[in-house]
Amino acid sequence: MVDVSKTLYKAKMLDYYFDRQAASSIGQGSRFVISKAVFGTSSLVTKNSAGRYDIAAIPPDFKIGDLLTPFCTVVPTLSYNNGIILIRADLDPTQLDPDRSYTFNTLVILDNEMKACAVMCVQEDSLYVGKGYTGLMELDVSGSDDHA
């Protein structure tokens, strides 16, 4: 994936991801699996005085309840290569009202316990039936300091 300006896109693996992955690796709790992606909006993306959007730092303790207007939940396509998990979430138009536009700026990734483990924020957009959208998130799990 190409580098995208942090003014246009931010993504972060949450503290919960690391805690849950570690516990799962030693047999504590159920097996950790990235399971769902939820499209919606959050207060992390705000319009500034110039009419552009600012994306705040994603807090490491973001919860699914911080997603203000969830409107589409999908099963993401997952792949792994050389320390990178690629998460692809395709908007499902069958979950949308064909006569409505949906404001979008945040994609939340959930595990199999339906808890947020990663978040992606983008410039605000309108999504609707007939307008496809694919959210792509690369998660660096190679052990480097920059995880997303």
Domain range annotation of the chain: 9-140
Lowest mean pLDDT among 1-15, 72-86, 103-117: 1-15
Residue 53 DSSP class: E
Q: Worst-scoring range by mean pLDDT, 4-8, 80-84, 144-148?
A: 144-148
Rounded mean pLDDT of 62-73? 97
CA dist 135 → 33, 38, 40, 119, 144 (Å): 19, 10, 12, 11, 23
Segment 38-57 shows an average pLDDT of 96
Band of pLDDT at residue 96, cut at 50, 70 and 90: very high
Q: Which residues of 9-41 are buried (b: 16+ CB within 10 A; e: fewer)?
A: bbbbbbebbeebeeebeeeeeeebebbbbbbbb
Q: What is the pTM of this model?
A: 0.90
